[in-house]
Amino acid sequence: IGGGFIGLELAATARKLGAEVGVIEGLPRILSRGVPKEIAAIVDERHRREGVKILCGARIATIGHQGDGANILLADGGSIAADLLVVGIGATPNTELAEAAGLAVEDGIAVDETLRTSDPDIFAAGDCCSFPLSHYHGRRVRLEAWRNAQEQGTLVAANLMGAAKLVASVPWFWSDQYELTLQIAGLADDAAVTVRRDLSDDAFILFHLDGEGRLIAASAIGPGNAVARDIRLAEMLIATGSRPDPAALASPETKLKKLLGV
């Protein structure tokens, strides 16, 4: 249950191991959180080609035991029997300790740009905290990704020693499913313009710009490491607040390094 990264990665792995797999998603499409529909459609098609049954827009009425397995009754009256049921529908941060300590909580433990909580002697890092992103006008976010947790842990350690470093990294996510790798840098929610650059016959990158022409995110998909280099360069462009020419972004002949000035 759940057509996000966790559910789909598990579906791909289970299918490669020979299991019959079904994915139940309540929203109209899979990967609706932060993944452009063009890329989500490719992932959807790849799973279906592999034999995964994907049911979108489905509402679950009840879940019950059926022998050693489970039976899922859908709101429309249909039912699905399964030997094993895995629910991957999102994460809720554990904030009970923070609340008991009187710390401010806002979709997670609220911290400032140094990851300091409302108590100056307490810091928080990783999936449990929400923090302001300078690249997005101080927008407060909570990121559930390993690199974010790793980088924030290092930053907190430095700040506990008095470094006063600020959160400056660009959000980055990735997922491997079958031979495909999906990578996203930045947050595309406020994009006004999206430009596509084809990297090869089976790989492309989407550049997302805001209303002022600033590059705020990039989304890409392709086999293996086909998109890794371009996403890394896009991440650097986002970090510098670049306003590249959309025509240059769309043209494979224009090197992204040139847009960085290196």
Task: Choose the final residue of a domain: 115, 133, 160.
Answer: 160
Q: Are residues 251 and 185 in the same domain?
A: yes
Q: Are residues 47 and 122 in the same domain?
A: no
Q: Are residues 246 and 189 in the same domain?
A: yes
Q: Are residues 111 and 182 in the same domain?
A: no
Residue 233 has pLDDT above 90, yes or no: yes
Residue 18 has pLDDT above 70, yes or no: yes
| Residue 9, in any domain of the structure | yes
Instruction: Summarize pLDDT for 209-230 with one digit per residue, the tens.
Output: 999 999 999 999 999 999 999 9
> How many CA atoms lie within 13 Å of 71's alpha carbon, on the beta-carbon side?
8
| Residue 129, in any domain of the structure | yes
Average pLDDT of the segment spanning 53-60: 97
Average pLDDT of the segment spanning 69-95: 94
| DSSP structure class, residue 126 | G
Instruction: Summarize pLDDT for 121-171 with one digit per residue, the tens.
Output: 999 999 999 999 998 999 999 999 899 999 999 999 999 999 999 999 999
Rounded-to-integer distance, Cα 248 and Cα 237, Å: 13
Closest CA to 202 of 8, 47, 54, 39: 39
> How many CA atoms lie within 13 Å of 223's alpha carbon, on the beta-carbon side?
5
| Residue 32, in any domain of the structure | yes
Task: Choose the final residue of a domain: 57, 82, 107.
Answer: 82
pLDDT reported for residue 90: 87
Task: Choose the final residue of a domain: 48, 82, 116.
Answer: 82
Rounded-to-integer distance, Cα 31 and Cα 28, Å: 10
- Which residues face 223 on adjacent strands? 180
Mean pLDDT of the chain: 96
Q: Are residues 178 and 254 in the same domain?
A: yes
| Residue 74, in any domain of the structure | yes
Q: Are residues 57 and 111 in the same domain?
A: no
Cβ atoms of 128 and 106 within 8 Å: the answer is no
Residue 114 has pLDDT above 60, yes or no: yes
Q: Are residues 251 and 179 in the same domain?
A: yes
| Residue 87, in any domain of the structure | no
Domain of 131: which CATH number?
A: 3.50.50.60
| Residue 196, in any domain of the structure | yes
Rounded-to-integer distance, Cα 76 and Cα 172, Å: 38
- Which domain range does residue 17 map to? 5-82
DSSP track, 127-184? GGEEEEEGGGTTEEE----HHHHHHHHHHHHHHHTT------PPPEEEEEETTEEEEE
Instruction: Summarize pLDDT for 185-208 with one digit per residue, the tens.
Output: 999 999 999 999 999 999 999 999
Q: Are residues 176 and 252 in the same domain?
A: yes
Number of domains the chain contains: 3
Residue 91 has pLDDT above 90, yes or no: no
Q: Are residues 186 and 221 in the same domain?
A: yes
Residue 262 has pLDDT above 60, yes or no: no
Q: Are residues 65 and 20 in the same domain?
A: yes
Say whether 223 sits in a helix, a strand or coil: strand
| Residue 140, in any domain of the structure | yes
Residue 56 has pLDDT above 90, yes or no: yes
| Residue 92, in any domain of the structure | no
